């Protein structure tokens, strides 16, 4: 999948998450595009580092439960994105966890639909 398609899918998942989830607010679809860019760069730059730190800190149980660890990493990155952008407002870490789950589900469904054709 090209980077532009991945960015569009992430933008749509951010925007839909803000529509579906109270406590997760994005300033319009343009804001969702900016949030997707920031989130994607943060995930590329420090996502694996945070994942590795959680795995080591949990004595490798985090690796066995990598789906849960990935959700926690995405929630942390969402809160970082919230801190550095005024296009996103997340009420608390619980909303960030739910947002990460919803975004993951929407992104997975979109990738599945795109691969059907």
State residue 114's pLDDT score: 87
pLDDT tens for each residue of 25-40: 999 999 999 999 999 9
Label residue 117 by pLDDT band (50, 70, 90).
low
CB 103 within 8 A of CB 5: no
* DSSP H stretches of helix in 21-92: 28-42, 48-57, 61-64, 66-84
State residue 2's pLDDT score: 87
Mean pLDDT of the chain: 95
DSSP string over 93-115: HHHHHHHHHHHHHHHHHHHHHHH
**Mean per-residue pLDDT, 1-24:** 93
The total of other beta-carbon atoms located within 10 Å of residue 35's CB is 24
Asked if residue 115 has pLDDT above 90, the reply is: no
What size, in residues, is the chain?
A: 117
Q: Would the pTM count as exceeding 0.75?
A: yes
**Mean per-residue pLDDT, 41-53:** 97
The total of other beta-carbon atoms located within 10 Å of residue 83's CB is 9
């Amino acid at each position: 999948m090209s980077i532009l398609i991945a960015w569009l899918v992430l933008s749509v998942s951010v925007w839909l998450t803000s529509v579906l989830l109270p406590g997760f607010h994005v300033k319009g679809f343009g804001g969702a595009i900016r949030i997707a860019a920031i989130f994607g760069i943060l995930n590329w730059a420090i996502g694996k580092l945070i994942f590795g730190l959680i795995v080591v800190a949990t004595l490798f149980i985090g690796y066995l439960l990598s789906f849960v660890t990935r959700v926690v990493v995405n929630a942390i990155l969402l809160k970082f994105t919230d801190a550095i952008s005024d296009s996103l407002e997340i009420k608390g870490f619980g909303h960030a966890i739910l947002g990460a789950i919803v975004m993951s589900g929407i992104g997975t469904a979109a990738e599945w639909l795109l691969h059907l054709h």
